[in-house]
Amino acid sequence: MNTKLATSLFITAAAVTGAFSQIAPAAALSASSSVWDKPQPTVYSKSQTGFNDATYQQFVQQERVAIPNSGQFQLDSSKLKLKYDYNVSAFFINEGAGYRNQLAFSSTGQTNTENLLFKDISCEGAGCVGGWGGNALKLGDGVKVGEIKAGSQLDFFLRADGLNRGTGANVFGTQTTQNADGLQHLVAYGVGKKYLLLGFEDLYGAQGATGGKNENSDRDFNDAVFVVDIGEKNLNALIKPVPEPSVSLSLIGLGAAGLLLRRRQSKAN
C-alpha cells in the first residue's frame, strides 16, 4: 500500500471499540424478506453519473487474499449513522465470487425504508476479478439509495448467491452478531472525500472450515465490493468519533495521523 493510498484509506478506529453499542441494532433483513423480490432499481452507468471507479479498484484484492488488516476494522452499525441529510448513492466496484450475490440496504431512524440495490452482482470481462457466470454489472455502475435524513442509520445486507438460492440463501450484514455464523462478513473503509468502501465475504463459516453449513470460506472480503456516497460532512463525522477511554494508544495515534493526513489531503484537493 502506498502512502497516498494510506492517506485516503482510513477507517474509523472507534468502530473497533463498539463505541455506540448502546444503540439498538437494526433488524436484519432475512433471506425471505420481500425486499429481495423487488425489481432491480435503475442502474446508472458511469457516463451518466460521472463516477470514476478506477480510484477504488486498487482496494479490490485478488481472489482469496483478504484486504490487509481488514480484521481490525470491524464495522459497527452505528458507524453508518448519518449526521446530515444526504442523497445517498451506491456504486459497484467489483466482485470476486462464483456466487450470484445480491445487495440490499435498510435505513432506520429519521428515515425508515429498505430496498434492493443490486439483484445480480455479476461481472465478467476487462477489470473484473473473475468470470463465473453472469454479466449484469459494469464496473462503476450506480444506483440511488435515496434521500436519507440526519439521524438515520444505514445497514447493508448481502444475500449470498441469492439469485440462485433465493430464500434458502445466507444473508450477511452490517451487524456481526446477527450473522448466522457469528462472524464478520463486511469490512468498511472511508475512502476519498465522501465514500464508504464496503467489502463483503459471502461464504459461511470460519476460514477453511468444512462440514455442516461451513463453505470452506476464504475470508477474502472481495466477493462484493462497493462504495457508498454518504457525502463529505457525513464521512467526516464518522471518521472523527469521540475517542473512548478504552481505545488503545496505538489506535488513537492511528486515528490522529489519519485525520491529519486527511486534512492535508483536503487542502490539496
Instruction: CB nearer to Ca ion: give 96 or 241.
Output: 96
CA torsion, ordered 229, 231, 232, 238, to nearest 10 deg: -80
In angstroms, the Cα distances linking 255 to 8, 13, 252 are 13, 6, 5
* Under rule CB under 5 A, residue 162 binds Ca ion: no
CA–CA distance, 152 with 175 (Å, rounded to integer): 16
Measured from the CB of residue 124, what is the shortest distance to Ca ion in angstroms? 9
Binding segment for Ca ion among 20-28, 155-163, 200-208, 249-257 (CB under 5 A)? 200-208
Measured from the CB of residue 143, what is the shortest distance to Ca ion in angstroms? 18
Measured from the CB of residue 176, what is the shortest distance to Ca ion in angstroms? 16
The residue from 114, 141, 161, 220 that contacts Ca ion (CB under 5 A) is 220
In angstroms, the Cα distances linking 148 to 80, 87, 123, 177, 187 are 11, 6, 29, 25, 22
Per DSSP, the three-state class of 115 is strand
The dihedrals phi and psi of 46, each to the nearest 5 degrees, come to -60, -35
Contact 210/197 with Cβ under 8 angstroms? Answer: no
DSSP 170-197: EEEES-GGGSTT----EEEEEETTTEEE
CA–CA distance, 108 with 110 (Å, rounded to integer): 7
Binding segment for Ca ion among 42-50, 79-87, 193-201, 225-233 (CB under 5 A)? 193-201
Measured from the CB of residue 242, what is the shortest distance to Ca ion in angstroms? 34
The dihedrals phi and psi of 153, each to the nearest 5 degrees, come to -110, 130
Q: Taking the CB of residue 162, how many other CB atoms lie within 10 A of it?
A: 27
Instruction: CB nearer to Ca ion: give 19 or 116.
Output: 116
* Under rule CB under 5 A, residue 181 binds Ca ion: no
**The three grid cell numbers given for residue 168, joined into one nine-digit string:** 434458502
Site map for Ca ion, 96-135, x if CB under 5 A?
xx------------------------x---------x---
Binding segment for Ca ion among 49-57, 69-77, 152-160, 222-230 (CB under 5 A)? 222-230
Measured from the CB of residue 175, what is the shortest distance to Ca ion in angstroms? 19
* Under rule CB under 5 A, residue 218 binds Ca ion: yes
Three-state SS letters, 208-235: CCCCCCCCCECCCCCCEEEEEECCHHHH
Measured from the CB of residue 169, what is the shortest distance to Ca ion in angstroms? 13
How many residues contact Ca ion, by CB under 5 A?
Answer: 9
What DSSP designation does 74 have?
B
The residue from 190, 223, 224, 234 that contacts Ca ion (CB under 5 A) is 223
Residues binding Ca ion (CB under 5 A)? 96-97, 122, 132, 201, 218, 220, 222-223
